[in-house]
């Protein structure tokens, strides 16, 4: 008779696709099950782990990045292996996973951006903010992206924290950014930047801003840039005023207070201006070969049937000359081969983390689970992923108990290692990553910078060529 699943001779084998926060928190919760023997293989299509902590969090926010210490501890636990530079759907398929594992957790995040659906959106000079973020964070896919920083006027569309990050990076001096781990080539280009006016455009009012207090406050603390807010735009409509007066939403109350402070302060003459605009929606990007201007419509707010304050266009328009536009209106997930997908929301349909065939009356898909932004959409901070991943893993554990997971024909850590060796000999282990990590820190040290990242996969593999074979993961590593 076979031992029950989760014992030393019959460990529970789980594949996690994606190595960002949600994937690591799922691994952590599996490791916490003291009554279960679990083997976890985490895959990432990049050689480097940590998802948006490496490729998304702003370089000038090092404290947020220190969460990787927690992930390093998780990766060092017995039974955990990392396979970087291994792409789901290319090097390893869903059918392969079913051969070797009892379950898979998709933790791939939201890798694309939401569209505005306005004329001119695809003109040269119009970019998803997420591309700029990936570029300045040395993401290999965006290493060769081009942003024309010779222009003076830039528009950032959206009032979220990504819009704040992009604005801050554009507004800072090269000296302010020097010690950070911003990509070396991005630092060079930003040093030459001619950008003077950054228009941050919100379709609703100050009280509906999606950014948080530290992020809007930071914009007022920069060496060469200052925030400009027109006092007229701080005059709230009655519904927003009532919302702020009620005081329940402390973040919104403080945001409005900070913005009022900027409006009162006025222009103190710093060379770069961050011009916050409210109640405006872009209706067209204008230009022949590239973006030359953005056409905006003035909005008013109305209360919809759900009681939310939504924007509604008026018949007032204005046009602002800008040469560069960053659309920062949210991320959007992309489908994975063979896995259900709900295009409208850009997520994998699921019931509290159990993948379902669809959202409407969907049946549960055995063995498949989802965590993070590809589960719930692109919202929340890093810590939001912890309870989210715990919820999913708890459901997986219930399914293990009920024997409702996959029955692999080769539940064997060596067998899958051999498959990966064959399909992608240049896979990267966690020990390999630690070599890269050290090399990046070392490159930074000699320059007085916190880190100088590698941004090309071939350069990373070049560094690893000497040590790679020593680091092949063993069962129980």
Task: Summarize as ranges the residues that interact with ligand NAP (CB under 6 A).
Answer: 116, 157-163, 165, 202-204, 208, 210, 215, 281, 328-331, 378-381
Nearer to ligand NAP, 92 or 116 (CB): 116
Residue nearer to ligand NAP on the CB measure, 264 or 308 = 308
* Identity of the residue, 235 or 312, whose beta carbon is nearer to ligand NAP in the bound complex: 312
Q: How far is the CB of 129 from ligand NAP (least distance, A)?
A: 7
Confirm if 229 and 200 have CB atoms less than 8 A apart. Answer: no
Q: Which helix (H) or strand (E) holds 340?
A: none
For 240, residues 6+ apart whose C-beta sits below 8 A from its C-beta are: 205, 206, 207, 208, 301, 309
Beta-bridge mates of residue 226: 273
> How far is Cα 297 from Cα 411, in angstroms, rounded to an integer?
59
DSSP codes, 84-103: ET--BTTTB-HHHHHHH-SE
CB 221 within 8 A of CB 215: no
Q: Write out the E strands in 171-328.
A: 197-201, 225-229, 272-277, 280-286, 293-303, 309-321, 324-327
Residue 98, Ramachandran bin (φ over 0: left; ψ between -120 and 50: alpha; else beta): alpha
Q: How many CB atoms lie within 10 A of CB 364?
A: 15
Asked whether the beta carbons of 233 and 318 are under 8 A apart, the reply is: no
Nearest Cα residue to 252 out of 281, 211, 214: 211
Q: How far is the CB of 179 from ligand NAP (least distance, A)?
A: 19
- Rounded least distance, CB 99 to ligand NAP, Å: 36
CB of 356 to ligand NAP, least distance (A): 24
What is the rounded CA–CA span in Å between residue 255 and residue 113? 26
| Residue closest to ligand NAP, measured at CB | 160
Residue with Cβ nearer ligand NAP (289 or 305): 305
Least distance in angstroms from the C-beta of 209 to ligand NAP: 7
Least spacing, CB of residue 77 vs ligand NAP, in Å: 27
Cβ nearer to ligand NAP, comparing 331 with 406: 331
Strand duo 126-128 + 324-327: pairing = parallel
**Torsion region of 18: left, alpha or beta (phi above 0 gives left; psi -120 to 50 gives alpha):** left
Helix (H) or strand (E) holding 253: helix 250-265
How far from each other are the two terminal CA atoms of the chain, in whole angstroms?
28
Answer for the pair 71, 49: CB distance below 8 angstroms, yes or no.
yes
DSSP character at residue 217: H
To ligand NAP, the closest distance from the beta carbon of 391 in angstroms equals 18
**Closer residue to ligand NAP, CB minimum distance, 133 or 416:** 133
43 or 326: CB nearest ligand NAP: 326
Closest approach of Cβ 116 to ligand NAP, in Å? 5
If the CB atoms of residues 208 and 455 are measured against ligand NAP, the closer one turns out to be: 208
Closer of 251 and 415 to ligand NAP (Cβ): 251
The nearest distance, CB 411 to ligand NAP, in angstroms, is 37
Q: Which is nearer to ligand NAP, 150 or 314 (CB)?
A: 314
How many CA atoms within 13 Å lie on the side-chain side of 3? 10
In the complex, the smallest distance separating the C-beta of residue 57 from ligand NAP, rounded to whole angstroms, is 7
Nearer to ligand NAP, 165 or 368 (CB): 165
38-44: strand order across its sheet: 80-84, 38-44, 12-17, 103-106, 364-370, 354-356, 350-351
Q: Give the residue among 110, 107, 91 at the shortest CA–CA distance from 15.
A: 107
């Amino acid at each position: 008779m076979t031992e029950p699943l989760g014992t030393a001779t019959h460990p529970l084998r789980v594949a996690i696709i994606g190595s960002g926060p949600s994937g690591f928190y799922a691994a952590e919760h599996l490791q916490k099950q003291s009554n279960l023997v679990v083997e976890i293989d985490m895959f990432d299509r990049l050689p480097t782990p940590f998802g948006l902590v490496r490729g998304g969090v702003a370089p000038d926010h090092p404290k947020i990045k220190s969460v990787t210490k927690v992930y390093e501890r998780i990766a060092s636990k017995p039974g955990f292996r990392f396979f970087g530079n291994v792409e789901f759907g290319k090097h390893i398929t869903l059918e392969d996973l079913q051969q070797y594992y009892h379950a898979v957790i998709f933790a791939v995040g939201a890798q694309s951006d939401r569209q505005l659906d306005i004329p001119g959106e695809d003109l040269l000079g119009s970019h998803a903010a997420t591309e700029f973020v990936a570029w300045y964070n040395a993401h290999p896919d965006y290493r060769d992206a081009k942003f024309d920083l010779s222009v003076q006027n830039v528009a950032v569309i959206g009032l979220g924290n990504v819009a704040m990050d992009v604005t801050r990076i554009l507004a800072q001096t090269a000296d302010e950014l020097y010690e950070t781990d911003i990509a070396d080539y991005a630092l060079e280009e930003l040093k030459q930047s001619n950008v003077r006016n950054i228009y941050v455009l919100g379709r609703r009012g100050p009280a509906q801003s999606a950014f948080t207090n530290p992020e809007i406050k930071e914009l007022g603390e920069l060496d060469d840039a200052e925030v400009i807010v027109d006092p007229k735009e701080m005059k709230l409509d009655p519904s927003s005023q009532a919302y702020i007066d009620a005081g329940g939403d402390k973040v919104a109350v403080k945001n409005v207070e900070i913005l009022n402070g900027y409006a009162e302060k006025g222009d103190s003459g710093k060379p770069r201006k961050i011009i916050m605009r409210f109640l405006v929606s872009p209706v067209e990007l204008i230009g022949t070969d590239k973006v030359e201007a953005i056409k905006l419509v003035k909005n008013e707010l109305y209360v919809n049937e759900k009681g939310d304050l939504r924007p509604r266009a008026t018949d007032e328009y204005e046009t602002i000359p800008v040469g560069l536009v960053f659309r920062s209106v949210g991320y959007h997930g992309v489908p994975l081969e063979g896995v259900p997908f709900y295009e409208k929301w850009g997520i994998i349909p699921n019931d509290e983390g159990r993948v379902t065939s669809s959202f409407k009356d969907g049946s549960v898909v055995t063995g498949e689970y989802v965590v993070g932004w590809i589960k719930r959409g692109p919202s929340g901070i890093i810590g939001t992923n912890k309870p989210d991943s715990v919820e999913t893993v708890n459901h997986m554990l219930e399914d293990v108990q009920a024997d409702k997971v996959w029955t692999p024909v080769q539940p064997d850590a060596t067998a899958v290692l051999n498959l990966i060796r064959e399909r992608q000999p240049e896979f990267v282990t966690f020990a390999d990553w630690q070599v890269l990590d050290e090399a990046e820190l070392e490159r930074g040290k000699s320059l007085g910078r916190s880190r100088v990242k590698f941004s090309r996969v071939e350069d990373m593999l070049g560094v690893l060529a000497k040590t790679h074979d020593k680091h092949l993961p063993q069962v129980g590593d």
